[in-house]
Amino acid sequence: MWLFGKLLDFIDLGEKTKLKGQRHFLECGALDGVIFSTTLHLERFLEWTGILIEADDRFYRDLKNTNRKAYGVHVCASRTPHPSMAIFKPSPIYYKMMKDGEKFTNVNPGTGYVLNEIIGDRNESKEHLVEIQCVPIYTALLAAQMSRIDLFVLDIEGVEIDVLKTIPFEKVDIAVFMIEVYGKPKLEIRRIHDFLNSKGYVFYGRFEGGLHPGDEIYIKSQYYTGKEDKVKIQNLNARDTYNIIIGKNDEEIKKEELEAFDQITNTSS
């Protein structure tokens, strides 16, 4: 029995695409490789393999002991096309990358709640910050000798668009993106949408409810071979289903996917 409704839907999606042979995933923000892992069941039940990237050493220590049949990498995804160092602020749950010029405030990146009672004073000292090596996604793919990724899971709490822009799409073939957008501003979500659309990806839909609400699916248009006009994505409890129209001419696809995207973001604020 699949634990996550969204994973079950992706398996269904996978059966409608041209993905053949050994399949690979890249999970960026893999945590301990078990709890909330999107790729664990792909590995165990469908014999996928891939790369697990986790910057938080607290989670990575557990990840190393899970016997995952994938490469585990203790780095963060670089926001530039070159290796770099990044400053992180530990939270009770995970690390948050400090953006350039950002003040040291005690805010949980997942909820936006101030955590003074847990972390302490709002004037964060540098003693509470962690510096971590970051590498470009493409560097990790080269090291693993992978030029093709069937599923790229991106869950890094705030710098997704920067990481996406470092990928040389002409050198690596990524079939499907699954990106967490829960709690993100509409403008930031739209930037992700527009960027991936410019790279030839169709907005497939957003999962609502379940253990992973707010994850969006983007599929490379050349891989979709479904004959249906309407593709359904359903949440874990089978309550809310919405349709994204796919399989028509380019102008219809663009018009209808943008309308669907706007409708979803307008109801998620």
Q: pLDDT (tens digit, 9 = 90+) per residue, 106-160?
A: 333 333 322 222 333 334 445 567 788 899 999 999 999 999 998 999 988 778 9
Go through the domains of the chain in sequence order and give each one's CATH number. Answer: 5-16+26-81+139-266 (3.40.50.150)
Segment 191-201 mean pLDDT: 93
For residue 51, the model assigns a pLDDT of 95
pLDDT band for 8, please (50, 70, 90 cuts).
very low
Q: For 208-254, what is each residue's pLDDT tens digit?
A: 655 556 788 888 888 765 433 333 333 322 223 222 323 344 455 45
b/e code 30-53 from CB counts within 10 Å (16+ = b):
bbbbeeebbbbbbbeeeebbbbbb
- The confidence score (pLDDT) of residue 129 equals 74
Q: Which amino acid is at 89?
A: K
Greater confidence (87 vs 85) lies with 85
Question: Whole-structure pTM over 0.85, yes or no?
Answer: no
pLDDT of residue 1: 25
220, two tokens: 């490379």
Q: How many helices (H) and strands (E) does the chain have?
A: 8, 13
Compute, in degrees rounded to 10, the torsion defined by CA atoms 136, 157, 90, 37: -90
- The mean pLDDT of the chain is 69
Task: Write phi, then psi, for 133 (nearest 5 degrees).
Answer: -70, 135
The percent of residues above 70 in pLDDT, for the chain, comes to: 57
For residues 37-52, give the mean pLDDT. 84
Predicted pLDDT of residue 212 = 55
Describe the crossing of helices 250-266 and 186-198 by its angle, rounded to 10 degrees. 160
Token duo for residue 104: 């040291």
Whether the predicted pLDDT of 100 surpasses 70: no
pLDDT given at position 209: 57
Helices (H), the chain: 5-15, 40-46, 57-63, 116-119, 137-143, 160-165, 186-198, 250-266
pLDDT band for 90, please (50, 70, 90 cuts): low
Instruction: Tell me: pLDDT of 37 over 70.
Output: yes
- What's the rounded mean pLDDT across residues 70-93? 82
Residue 44 has pLDDT above 90, yes or no: no
pLDDT-derived band at 179 (thresholds 50, 70, 90) equals: very high
| Cα Dmax for the chain | 57
pLDDT band with cut points at 50, 70 and 90 for residue 46: confident
Candidates 73, 16, 68; CA nearest to 42 is: 68
**For residue 164, pLDDT beyond 90:** yes
Predicted pLDDT at 59: 82
Q: Tell me what pLDDT residue 97 has.
A: 44
Q: Which residue has the higher pLDDT, 15 or 8?
A: 15
What's the CA gap between 212 and 235, in Å, rounded?
9
